[in-house]
Amino acid sequence: MRKKVLPLLLALALAVLSACGGGSRDGGQAAAPEPVITIAVSGDPTTLDPHKSFNGFVFTVTNQIYETLLFRAADGSLQPRLATEWTPVDETTWEFKLREGVKFSDGTPFNAEAVKFSLERLADPETKGPGAFIVGMIEEITAVDEHTVRIRTRTPFAPLLAHLSHPVTAIVSPTAATSGDLSKNPVGTGPFLLEDWKAGDSITLKANPDYWGGKPRLERVVLRVIPEAGTQLTELKAGTVDLITGVQPERFAEIDSDPQLSATKFLGWGSMFLGFNMKAGPLAQPEVRQAIAMAIDRQGIVETLRQGMAQFGNALVPPTVFGSVPDLAGPAYDPEGAKALLAQAGVATPLTLTLNTYEGAETQQIAQAIQAQLSQIGIDLQVVVTDYGAFAEAIAQDDHGLWLSSWGTVTMDADYTLWALLHSQQHGADNKAFYANPQVDAWLAEARRTTDDAERQALYRQVQEQVMADLPYLNLYYPLSSYAKNDRLQGEVYPFSAINLDLRRAEVK
């Protein structure tokens, strides 16, 4: 009997191991890791309709579900996504060949009519999309045939291709957009689908089995809302989170030295700047703005406070962006000269000014540093820190003072930033400085019209040199983009910022 019992017990043991997934740490066959990752995000999206928001928390999710005609590769080049080819027809018209055999996740065919529908929906005032200006120059969209679309602008518009890579121009299912609610039930052509959304807690995405580029290797991606950066890091080290973004400067080396983790930093598309309301009050005086610029030790902020997680520069856009001027001269740190300038201008001190900014470790740290440095030249800076909504309302008022904010040139073309922040038509929109210079307006308009890159670059140099003379803004630095991950996650592509995270070929090992 014994010879029969042992084989039976062995067979039962093997069956139990097989049912449990099999394998062991000491030589047995290891179970394949579950293809699920968790990403920490600091805020919850307000909608999953890409046309009705202009917010990074939203685009971080929608970029996994929807796709644009073109996209920016990690090297900054424009690459095909839903469009496979594009050629100019004349100085105001581009023709796009569309990818064939693609369907939205609800089964609706992707075609020229879907492109026309989506871009017109974004531009439609009824949509109330804050990003409508991205396509505001488009005069007409024509579906030539099933897989060919032509886009005509009112006047020549050189940055059009760059604008069509912006996540707000995502192509949506016409069926779902007209008969459903994309804000809660998103339908795109992307690699992932919405599985679950627990507001304020998490969003769970699942792999799109019918994705035209092949089903992703990750079965699920969970985006957990964890507002505190310290808590995000704790969970990353504990293994309950696989990826965090915006690594704290003082913790970067600690993460990078952990054998289970990797930390990456690089220059992205962002800028951190100080804005001046030129409309009224003391800041309308050029000498006051110049003195403030001279009193701020921007290089010291980069080296000491940001600890290598930022790059100094005077231009409003970083060197990664077309139209940047990396060698642009700016005001040198000279607090004694700043005091003398205020005295020469007859400005009485102490001078009380207000600076608005929004909640966040970085903005609050920089605001406090500016406050301390301006006190050295007789300026009493009252710092007001609020949530982003209240901050946006405050700097929309005519009588606001200074403000501290970041900006991302998402299209990687300087027009996106310089037109928004500097053109006089943008008063009441993003030009919170109320800056108005007819020559700058003319240069910006000419840079949109010409398709010669050298001419555009020369015009953007003129614009930014004039800005340094007028000082509606003072660029402080370019924050480095950063993220940290558990090394079990492999194959992710992270260009520029979190909203561009590409998980199409990512996997768990």
Amino acid at 340: A
Q: Residue 109's pLDDT is what?
A: 98
pLDDT value of position 31: 64
Among 338, 387, 335, 380, residue whose Cα is nearest residue 355: 380
With respect to residue 84, please indicate whether it lies within any of the assigned structural domains.
yes
Give CA angle at 122 (118, 128), nearest 5°.
145
Residues 161 and 277 in one domain: no
Assigned token pair, 273: 């700047």
Mean pLDDT estimate for the chain: 92
Q: Report the distance separating Cα 213 and Cα 67, nearest Å.
A: 12
Q: Tell me: do 169 and 278 sit in the same domain.
A: no
Residue 258, pLDDT score: 95
Cα–Cα distance list, 424 to 136, 412, 444, 468 (Å): 16, 22, 11, 17
Over residues 109-163, the pLDDT tens digits come to: 999 999 999 999 999 999 999 899 899 999 999 999 999 999 999 999 999 999 9
Q: Which two tokens stand for residue 504?
A: 């199409």
What range defines the domain where residue 295 resides?
Answer: 270-480
pLDDT tens, residue by residue, 393-430: 999 999 999 999 999 999 999 999 999 999 999 998 88
pLDDT digit string (tens) for 69-117?
999 999 999 999 999 999 999 999 999 999 999 999 999 999 999 999 9
Residue with tokens 């020549």: 156
Q: Is 267:311 a contact under the CB 8 Å cutoff?
A: yes
pLDDT in tens, 215-255: 999 999 999 999 888 999 999 999 999 999 999 999 999 99
Contact 294, 335 (CB under 8 A): yes
**Residue 443: helix, strand or coil by DSSP?**
helix
Find, among 421, 445, 448, 447, the residue nearest to 435 by Cα: 421
Contact assessment for residue 398 and residue 428, using Cβ atoms and an 8 Å cutoff: no
Residue 438 lies inside a defined structural domain of this protein: yes
φ/ψ of residue 153, rounded to 5: -100, 160
pLDDT at 119: 98
87 domain-assigned: yes
What does the pLDDT look like over 2-25, one tens digit per residue?
A: 333 334 333 433 333 333 333 333
pTM, 2 dp: 0.85
Write the pLDDT tens digit of every residue in 450-509.
989 999 999 999 999 999 999 999 999 999 999 999 999 999 999 999 999 999 999 999
Query: On the CB side of 43, how many CA atoms lie within 13 Å of its CA?
Result: 16
Distance separating alpha carbons of residues 386 and 111, to the nearest angstrom: 44
Give the separation between CA 425 and CA 439, rounded to whole angstroms. Answer: 13
pLDDT on residue 16: 38
Each residue's pLDDT tens digit, 21-43: 333 334 445 567 789 999 999 88
Q: Domain for residue 151, yes or no?
A: yes
The CATH number covering residue 143 comes to 3.90.76.10
Q: Quote the number of domains for the chain.
A: 2
Q: How many residues does the chain have?
A: 509
| Contact by Cβ (8 Å): 293, 471 | yes
pLDDT for the residue numbered 8:
37
Arithmetic mean of pLDDT, 188-207: 97
Among the candidates 148, 175, 202, a domain finishes at 175
Tell me, what's the pLDDT at 13?
Answer: 37
Q: Shortest CA distance to 72 belongs to which of 81, 61, 64?
A: 81
pLDDT interval class at 176 (50, 70, 90): very high
- Whether residue 345 is contained in a domain is answered as yes
Q: What is the dihedral of CA 372, 374, 378, 381, to 10 degrees?
A: -80
Other beta carbons within 10 Å of 55: 18
Q: Tell me phi and psi for residue 177, to 5 degrees.
A: -70, -30
Last residue within a domain, chosen from 175, 198, 223? 175
Predicted confidence at residue 30, as pLDDT, reads 59
CA distances (Å), origin 317, targets 47, 271, 414, 497: 29, 6, 7, 15
93 within a domain of the structure (yes/no): yes
Burial category of 301 from C-beta neighbours within 10 Å (exposed 0-12, middle 13-18, buried 19 and up) = buried
- Classify 4 in phi/psi space as left (phi over 0), alpha (psi -120 to 50) or beta: alpha
State which of 175, 207, 228 marks the end of a domain.
Answer: 175
Q: Which of 431, 389, 438 is nearest to 276 (CA)?
A: 431
**How far is 394 from 99, CA to CA, in rounded Å?**
45
Q: Distance between CA atoms of 333 and 192, rounded to whole angstroms? A: 49
Q: Dump the DSSP string for 485-506.
A: EETTEES-B--SSGGG-B-TT-
CB contact set of 247 (below 8 Å; sequence gap of 6+): 233, 255, 263, 265, 309, 482, 483, 484
- Rounded to whole angstroms, how far apart are CA atoms 217 and 58? 23
Query: Residue 311 is part of a domain; what is its CATH number?
Result: 3.10.105.10
Residue 55 pLDDT greater than 90, yes or no: no
Per the CB < 8 A criterion, the answer to whether 276 and 283 are in contact is yes
Instruction: Say what the pLDDT of residue 29 is.
Output: 55
Structure tokens at 370: 């500016």
Task: Return the closest-CA partner of residue 478 out of 316, 340, 333, 274.
Answer: 316
Is the Cβ–Cβ distance between 166 and 59 less than 8 Å? no
- 333 domain-assigned: yes
The answer to whether residue 203 is domain-embedded is: no
